[in-house]
Structure formats: structure tokens, C-alpha cells
Amino acid sequence: MKFIDWLDERLAIRQLMKVMLLEYYVPKNINFLWSFGVLIMLVLIILIVSGIFLLMYYKPDANLAFDSVNKTIMMDVEFGWLFRHVHAVGASIMFLVLFIHMGRGIYYGSFKPPRELVWLTGYFLFILMAATAFTGYLLPWGQMSYWAAQTITTLFEKIPVIGPDLVIWIRGNYIVADATLTRFFALHVVFLPLLLIFVTVVHLYAVRIVGSNNEDGIEIPKEEKKKKGIPFWPVFMSKEFFVMSVFLIFFFWLVFYKFDFAMDPINFTPANYLQTPPHIYPEWYFLAFYEVLRGFFFSQNLGLIAFVLSMLLPMFLPWIDKSPIKSGNHRPLFKIAFWIFVLDFIFLTVLGKLPPTGLYGWLGFVGSLVFFAFFIALPIISRIERKELERGGNKQ
């Protein structure tokens, strides 16, 4: 006990514990969807730890990278295959839990005042995670790694004036080559993770200041938080531990028996800059955005603008959806729009992997329009709801 007092005097750990865990109250009227933040933390830790062990044998060199992954790590290092499977499946599952976490935020209006910064930092984390995944995907230096990097970096070519020079600068070569691999490696293992960790801290801090949203979207005043809430530790976390262990069962089932979805067969052929594989597509978590890019198949520029918009629009949700009602539970119109959006996102994801010809081309176009329709519908729905509230007066 003495040691804790000693620490407390110097680091105020008791106060820290109170703010972060013991007297941080989580509302009672939340459901299992509120567990996904903790799951994201869990996956992030799994990714960092497994990544560190991959790093010990990986060689960021165009001549060595493929063999260092597929021979050294996968075949020679004891349990190397396990760390790689965990890392690959972890990256994929990270986006699953991220999407659910973000969907929860959209549905229950968790981005609305006073939580704009929670949403913004969270969305920034999503973009950072996407960049980390993209740079990391190049590292095994297989055919899919190579051509994914080649095509996505080519997108920058379309930027007016500076585009062509910018692409060469990003790649450090006229094509994706050794220089690209090495810089992507640096970004993937140092720069982006550091930034991710930093922004995560800000994100968690912001949540602790404004508190968690809840199913009804009705703010709990500070004085009542203790009465109407449960402490983060141990009550909320006791449930989280259970959710985490069930999640880990699913996760390791994938790692051991169903890892194929995270390891494309095409990527077991070494990168060859002279031959594009017959089908190339990004990993599943980018497919929806990729399909928006391809959806405007008649105009490359339009597609590119749409792609950028689709990645950036959700960030501005706090200013797009200004309805005074927070939770989707109490917003019948929004509910319909939300579910159409979710289904459309899945639809786009599936289409993103199919060849963009004939009917699929047109379906992609329609799907992309529906994607944007959601963001156009939100201000309209907000206005209708505001008017109804005014008319209903003190009804609710």
C-alpha cells in the first residue's frame, strides 16, 4: 500500500484511476453495440504485438520481402505462421469492428453535440487505419500487394497540374518499386502507428469528458451520472471481458481455420511489374469506396471526385445531420434511410469485387448514387423532424 501512496503523491494515480475507470460512469441503457470500442482496442493491441514479431524477420527490400514473409516467417520461424495469420486476420477484423462501431455512432447520433470531437477524432482514426492497412498490404510484395499499390497511387495522377509529378514523388520511381516499398514500410511500422496511438488517446480522453451516448440519445446530467450509470470498472468491464472472450473465439477460429479470406491466393505469386493479374481488387474493407470510384464508369474524373467525397463526407456528419433528436430509435424516417445506407454499403462492397462490366457497371452506378443520397437525405430529414418537434410543442 505504501508504494501506491508514494506513486500517488507523484503521479496522482488515484485521481487518474477515478477519472479513467472507477468514476467514469457508463449509462445503463446501452446495448452490446457499445462494446465495440473496447473490441477495437483489443484488436489494435493484437495488431501491434503481432506486428512487432513480424518485424523481427521481415525484410523491406523488393528482392527479399516476398521470401522473408512466405518462407522465413511462414515456414521457418517457430510460430511465425501464427503471428502472420493473426496480423492478417486482425487487420481485416479491425475494419469489421470499426464499421460496426461507426454504424452504432451514426444510428444513435453519437456524433452530435457535444460529441463532435469524439466523432472527428474517431473518423480520423478510421482514415489512419485505412492508410496503415494500405501501406501494410504492400509489404508482402505479392502480385496483389503490388498492383493494389500501383493502381491506388495512380489515382493521384488525376490531380490537376501537380498530379503526374506527385505520383512519381510518392513512389520514388516511375512505377511502384523498391523505394516505394521501403517508404511504405516506414509509414506502416512507425509513423502511422504512432499517430494512431496518439489520436486514440485523444479520442478516449474526449469520450471521458463528454461521456457515452445511450440508446435513447437523452443526455444524463452530470449529477445523475452516478445514479443512472454503471462504473466503467469493474461493472462495465466485467461485461466487456465476456464480450471480448466470445469475440476472441470468433477471431481465433478465423485465424486457424478460415484465414483464406484475409490472404488472397493471388498474393502468393511474387510481384511482377510486367504482368497484371486478371482480376485485381482491394481488400474487402475498401471495396465499397472502390466501387464508388468505379461506379461512375462513364467518367473517370467524376469517379475520382465521388471516391474522395465518399471517404470524406461521413466526417462532416455532425454538420450534415443537425436534427435535435439524437437516437435513431426515435426517428422513423432516419431509421429507413439508415438501413438503406447500410444495405447499400454491403451491396457496394460485394459489387466492388465483381468485374465492372455490363449489368454490374450500372448496379455500381445506382449503388453509388444511393450512397450519396443518404447524405442528401439527412438534412431534409432533420428539417422535417425539427418542424414536427416545433408543431408537437411540448409533446415530447
Partner 1 sequence: MKDLKILAIISILVIITYIGIEPFAKHEMHGTVPPPDYNYLDLPKKELTGNPEQGKVLFKQNCASCHSVQADGISATMDKQTAQLSFKVVPPDLSNIASIIEPHFFAAFVKDPQSATKFPKFAMPGMSYLTDEQIGHIYSYLKSVAKPQEKLTGKDILHDACTRCHSVKYQKIKAQTDPKYLNDYLGKVPPDLSLMGKAKEEEYLATFISNPQVMLPGTSMPRLGLKQESAEKVIAYLDNIADPHKEERNKLGLWVLGYLVVLAGLTYAWKRKIWSNLH
Partner 2 sequence: MAEDEKVSRRDFLLYAMGGWAAIGVGATLYAMYKTWEPLPEVKAQATVKFKLSEVQPGELRVVAWRGKPVFILRKTPDMVSCPDRTIEKEFTVVVGICTHLGCIPNWEADKKIWHCPCHGGEYDACGRNIFGPPPKPLAIPPFKIEGDYIVLGEVGPEYQRLMKG
* Residues of this chain that bind partner 1 (CB under 8 A): 31-33, 67, 70-71, 74-75, 81-82, 96, 100, 230, 234-235, 238-239, 241-242, 244-246, 248-249, 252-253, 255-257, 260-261, 265-266, 268-269, 278-279, 284, 287, 342, 346, 349-350, 352-355
The reply to whether 374 sits near partner 2 by the rule CB under 8 A is no
Q: Which is nearer to partner 1, 8 or 67 (CB)?
A: 67
Alpha-carbon distances, residue 87 vs 46, 83, 90 (angstroms): 8, 6, 5
Among partner 2, partner 1, none, partner that 235 touches (CB below 5 to 8 angstroms by kind): partner 1
Among partner 2, partner 1, none, partner that 77 touches (CB below 5 to 8 angstroms by kind): partner 2
The reply to whether 200 sits near partner 2 by the rule CB under 8 A is no
Q: Which is nearer to partner 2, 80 or 105 (CB)?
A: 80
How many Å apart are CA 155 and CA 148, to the nearest integer? 11
Of 83, 141, 156, 286, which one interacts with partner 2 (CB under 8 A)? 83
| Number of CB atoms found within 10 A of residue 348's CB | 25
Of 6, 241, 256, 273, which one interacts with partner 2 (CB under 8 A)? 241
- Grid cell of 234 as nine digits: 469493474
Over its C-alpha atoms, the chain yields an Rg (Å, rounded) of: 23
Q: Is the backbone of residue 347 left (phi > 0), alpha (psi -120 to 50) or beta?
A: alpha
Among partner 2, partner 1, none, partner that 100 touches (CB below 5 to 8 angstroms by kind): partner 1
The reply to whether 237 sits near partner 2 by the rule CB under 8 A is no
Among partner 2, partner 1, none, partner that 249 touches (CB below 5 to 8 angstroms by kind): partner 1
Orientation of helix 358-392 relative to helix 332-353, angle to 10° = 160
For the CB of residue 103, give the shortest distance to partner 2 in the complex, in Å.
Answer: 30
For the CB of residue 367, give the shortest distance to partner 1 in the complex, in Å.
Answer: 12
Q: Which is nearer to partner 2, 27 or 80 (CB)?
A: 80
- Grid cell of 146 as nine digits: 503490388
The reply to whether 55 sits near partner 2 by the rule CB under 8 A is no
Q: Which is nearer to partner 1, 77 or 181 (CB)?
A: 77
- Which of 238, 280, 250, 234 has the alpha carbon at shortest distance from 100? 250
Of 38, 43, 74, 77, which one interacts with partner 2 (CB under 8 A)? 77
Contacts 24+ apart (CB under 8 A), 29-37: 29/214, 29/215, 29/216, 30/212, 30/214, 30/215, 31/215, 32/243, 33/100, 33/104, 33/108, 34/104, 34/212, 35/239, 35/240, 35/243, 36/97, 36/100, 36/101, 36/104, 37/101, 37/207
- Which of 332, 340, 234, 344 has the alpha carbon at shortest distance from 292? 344
3-state secondary structure 311-330: HHHHHHHHHHCCCCCCCHHH
Contact 273, 176 (CB under 8 A): yes
The reply to whether 151 sits near partner 2 by the rule CB under 8 A is no
Give the three-state DSSP class for 169.
helix
Q: Which helix (H) or strand (E) holds 310?
A: helix 300-312
Among partner 2, partner 1, none, partner that 242 touches (CB below 5 to 8 angstroms by kind): partner 1
Among partner 2, partner 1, none, partner that 114 touches (CB below 5 to 8 angstroms by kind): none
Q: CA neighbours within 13 Å on the CB side: how many for 59?
A: 12
Among partner 2, partner 1, none, partner that 133 touches (CB below 5 to 8 angstroms by kind): none
Q: CB under 8 A: which stretch of 78-86, 141-149, 154-162, 168-176 binds partner 2?
A: 78-86
For the CB of residue 332, give the shortest distance to partner 2 in the complex, in Å.
Answer: 43
Q: Running DSSP on this structure, what letter comes out for residue 231?
A: E
- Grid cell of 134 as nine digits: 494500405
Of 7, 12, 45, 56, which one interacts with partner 2 (CB under 8 A)? 56
The reply to whether 80 sits near partner 2 by the rule CB under 8 A is yes
- Interacting residue ranges for partner 2, rule: CB under 8 A: 53, 56-57, 72, 76-80, 82-83, 241
